[in-house]
Amino acid sequence: MPASVLSPVLLNARRIVVKVGSSLVTNEGRGLDEAVIGEWCRQLAHLIREGREVIMVSSGAIAEGMKRLGWTTRPQELHELQAAAAVGQMGLAHMYETKLRENGLGSAQVLLTHADLADRERYLNARSTLLTLLTHGVLPVINENDTVVNDEIKFGDNDTLGALVANLVEADALIILTDQKGLYTADPRRDPTATFVHEARAGDAKLEEMAGGAGSSIGKGGMITKILAAKRAAGSGASTVIAWGREPDALVRLTQGEAIGTLLVAPTQKQQARKQWMADHLQLRGSVTIDEGAVAKLRHEGKSLLPIGMTAVEGDFSRGEVIAIHDAQGQEIARGLANYASAEARLLCRKPSQDVEQLLGYVAEPEMVHRDNLVLTKHA
């Protein structure tokens, strides 16, 4: 797509995940680049004032920690990498907090591990926390919790983490800011016939061939990890842009529809992707039966399922699992993520939400299934 053509993908994106690479954040490992981080924070504030929701995924903790510890080469030993991450994370969080506050934004530090997103309950908790922060106009700054993870310290890299966060919050778009302009058909440093890829379909196998394995010595990712991240993000309907992080006003211009970098379009729309994911659960661990009033609320008013509308609970399921929602005749009318396990749900049937704490001793959510985690089935 020529650079002059406007792209509606980011123009219409309301919830955006922005991932920045360590070579940009730390100015090729020389230490946190205050000017460039300040510039991103100014642009992020602009996006939020426009009514968008933004989450930042930032690399750079290990590189900053190395600088603070006086190390010139990246260590190989896991415990030394983790020590560097712990030292660097302090500086990284402080820098973002300071620069976002200068632009009138509140910020929150969120450290995640793969286990947080692999475990159903922790996944749901992480999602709820991030969505709550966005509701309050706070910008979450996410990094991997390098200090406690093993397996070579990574999700693989923060490109993968960015994509998983896009899946987690069902973002409309993932923007990966890097030290390259975008994707070329081959490595332009080695192949003079290489041409720039303006737009392609996320998940296209040809992209992986083009990307090869080039990366910087500062971070772990190369273009291949960005292509794979775009494919992963597309699974929940998010399109991805790979662009140069020092491009003036890149985030603002992208969200105004300008075509900068490489746009990898998700082949499936966000809502379709979610419905497909729910529909793909061939075996459900359980179900709840609801009364006619609750059926009408779900079908016609787009409401959440409250405990007071439940009449029975079948099966054995945990919080965070996909369950079926049946009407009184036993027909499935919807599916959704359970906020309470089956044993708790049985106690909550026919009870108003304000009684949840008295019955269980705690409140996870006022709803049994939140509207955002619920899809009506075909004939509903």
- What secondary structure does DSSP assign to 222-260, as a single string? BHHHHHHHHHHHHTTT-EEEEEETTSTTHHHHHHTT---
Find the mean pLDDT for residues 221-228. 83
Beta strands 106-112 and 310-315 are: unpaired
28 vs 323, more confident: 323
Q: Is the CATH number of domain 8-270 3.60.15.10?
A: no
Q: For residue 379, what pLDDT band results from cuts at 50, 70 and 90? A: low
Q: What is the pLDDT of residue 149?
A: 74
Query: Which CATH architecture does the domain made up of 281-376 adopt?
Result: Roll (2.30)
Find the mean pLDDT for residues 99-109. 97
Q: What is the pLDDT of residue 166?
A: 94
Find the mean pLDDT for residues 187-203. 89
Residue in the block written with tokens 């720039």: 196
Q: What is the pLDDT of residue 270?
A: 77
Asked if residue 195 has pLDDT above 70, the reply is yes
Cα–Cα distances in Å, from 286 out to 232, 275, 283, 325, 327?
A: 28, 18, 9, 9, 14
C-beta of residue 216 within 8 angstroms of C-beta of residue 179: yes
Beta strands 310-315 and 286-290 are: antiparallel
Q: For residue 154, what pLDDT band results from cuts at 50, 70 and 90? A: low
Least confidently predicted of 61-65, 139-143, 152-156: 152-156
Beta strands 262-265 and 199-201 are: parallel
Delimit the CATH 2.30.130.10 region(s) of the chain: 281-376
Asked if residue 192 has pLDDT above 90, the reply is no
Find the mean pLDDT for residues 88-93. 94
Question: How does the average pLDDT of the chain come out, rounded?
Answer: 88
Cα–Cα distances in Å, from 78 out to 145, 160, 277, 323, 352?
A: 13, 20, 36, 40, 50
Delimit the CATH 3.40.1160.10 region(s) of the chain: 8-270
Q: What is the pLDDT of residue 23?
A: 85
Asked if residue 147 has pLDDT above 90, the reply is no
Secondary structure (DSSP) of 203-223: T-HHHHHHHTT-B-SSSS-BH
Digit-coded pLDDT (tens) for 276-314: 777 677 678 899 999 999 999 999 999 999 999 999 999
Alpha-helical segments (H) within 136-178 = 158-169
Digit-coded pLDDT (tens) for 172-187: 999 999 988 999 988 7
Q: What pTM was computed for the model?
A: 0.81
Digit-coded pLDDT (tens) for 26-81: 888 788 999 999 999 999 999 999 999 999 999 889 889 999 999 989 898 888 98
Q: What is the pLDDT of residue 115?
A: 76
What DSSP character marks residue 122? Answer: H
261 — phi, psi (to 5°)?
Answer: 70, -155
Q: What is the pLDDT of residue 216?
A: 42
Asked if residue 215 has pLDDT above 50, the reply is no
Asked if residue 328 has pLDDT above 90, the reply is yes
Find the mean pLDDT for residues 220-238. 86
Alpha-helical segments (H) within the chain = 8-11, 22-25, 34-49, 61-69, 78-102, 114-118, 120-135, 158-169, 205-211, 223-234, 250-255, 270-279, 292-301, 342-348, 356-360
